[in-house]
Amino acid sequence: MQATELVKKINAGDRTALAQAITLVESTKTEHAEIANIILEQCLAKKSSSIRIGITGVPGVGKSTFIEAFGKLMTSMGSKVAVLAIDPTSTISKGSILGDKTRMNELSKDPNAFIRPSASGESLGGVAQKTKESIVLCEAAGYNVIFIETVGVGQSETAVNNMVDFFLLLKLAGAGDELQGIKRGIMEMADAIVINKADGDNIKSAKSAKTEFTRALHLYPPKENEWVPQVLTCSAIENKGIKEVWELISTFAQTTKEKGYFGKRRKSQDKDWFIGHVNELLKKHFYEQQKVKFDLEPLLADIENNLISPFKAAQQLVQKHLDKKN
């Protein structure tokens, strides 16, 4: 199908066309890159007033249940919800924590929701780049609430934080020391901490966890955008406290827009996106060169036989092929 035709369908909200376009964008095949670039460029031209929400938390914390409840609330209010996932585990092993199970059953049947299992790729950076591009496509298809989900392991939170407006950390209460095991960086990135499973016997411990997290958040320096991260409790399964999370996100969007931080953050993310794409292109074009492929094998053999240090080999390869005189 021609790019323009596909874009027309995407703009009309056709989910199949959107899924096809994402597949093209995710593809590593050179023949797909050309059409993907045209699609992206045309989709970027479409103005959108979306909110991009990052959500993270350890497996089992209730991310899918939360997104399902939250997503249904959003579609009931007339929004269109897209859920994309970054799964660092899928780049390491073929398996994936996020992508494989049947998730968000009800939301996936909602005509105003689009759920895309996690992208796969060689590196987290590459996967993140593709996810960023998929956001653009979803927005062109009219999705105005974009969820980027990741598991709370590895480095993926930083990647997600770099492509969203609001970063939500989902936590559990009553799992021993509340603050243990949370990487400092993730707490620091969070715009809200939501303690899920605040139901049944858990209500009391969720409340005390809320107090504890609120106190802990005060220890961090104030954010550049003047936003004070909040702690909330909810029960995704009982659909309690979900509306309050949306109200908080709305307040965040409104105040950061008024103060200009919302747009400023997107601009800075665009610049990072540009650098990230340059890096990807350089890498791709470098390794695609026949001469590079030809020189790579002997250098690997030399490293194996201790004839050259990995450091020197890298210098040699790059210097030789970046220098036009050779």
- Report, in Å, the least distance between residue 242 CB and ligand GDP: 10
- Report, in Å, the least distance between residue 239 CB and ligand GDP: 9
- Report, in Å, the least distance between residue 240 CB and ligand GDP: 8
Among 9, 52, 63, 116, binds ligand GDP (CB under 6 A): 63
- Report, in Å, the least distance between residue 192 CB and ligand GDP: 16
- Report, in Å, the least distance between residue 236 CB and ligand GDP: 4
DSSP letter (8 states) at residue 97:
T
Kindly state whether residue 194 participates in binding ligand GDP, applying the rule CB under 6 A. no
Kindly state whether residue 7 participates in binding ligand GDP, applying the rule CB under 6 A. no
Please name the residues in contact with 158: beta carbons below 8 A apart, sequence gap of 6 or more: 185, 189
CA trace torsion 199, 202, 208, 211 (10° rounding): -40
Residue 6 vs 69, nearer CB to ligand GDP: 69
Kindly state whether residue 54 participates in binding ligand GDP, applying the rule CB under 6 A. no
CA distance 165 to 102: 27
Among 197, 209, 213, 231, binds ligand GDP (CB under 6 A): 197
CA distance 294 to 274: 30
Amino acid at 218: H
Among 179, 203, 217, 237, binds ligand GDP (CB under 6 A): 237
Among 36, 61, 115, 124, binds ligand GDP (CB under 6 A): 61
Residue 216 vs 237, nearer CB to ligand GDP: 237
- Report, in Å, the least distance between residue 277 CB and ligand GDP: 30
Residue 64 vs 129, nearer CB to ligand GDP: 64
CA distance 11 to 90: 30
For residue 114, give the H/E element and its range.
strand 113-116
Kindly state whether residue 59 participates in binding ligand GDP, applying the rule CB under 6 A. yes
Asked if 85 and 159 touch (Cβ cutoff 8 Å), the reply is no
Kindly state whether residue 210 participates in binding ligand GDP, applying the rule CB under 6 A. no
Burial of 225 (0-12, 13-18, 19+ CB in 10 A): middle
Pairing state of beta strands 166-172 and 192-196?
A: parallel
Give the tokens for residue 287: 């390794």
For residue 62, give the H/E element and its range.
none
Kindly state whether residue 60 participates in binding ligand GDP, applying the rule CB under 6 A. yes
CA distance 188 to 102: 31
Kindly state whether residue 256 participates in binding ligand GDP, applying the rule CB under 6 A. no
Q: What residue ranges bind ligand GDP (CB under 6 A)? A: 57, 59-65, 196-197, 199, 235-237
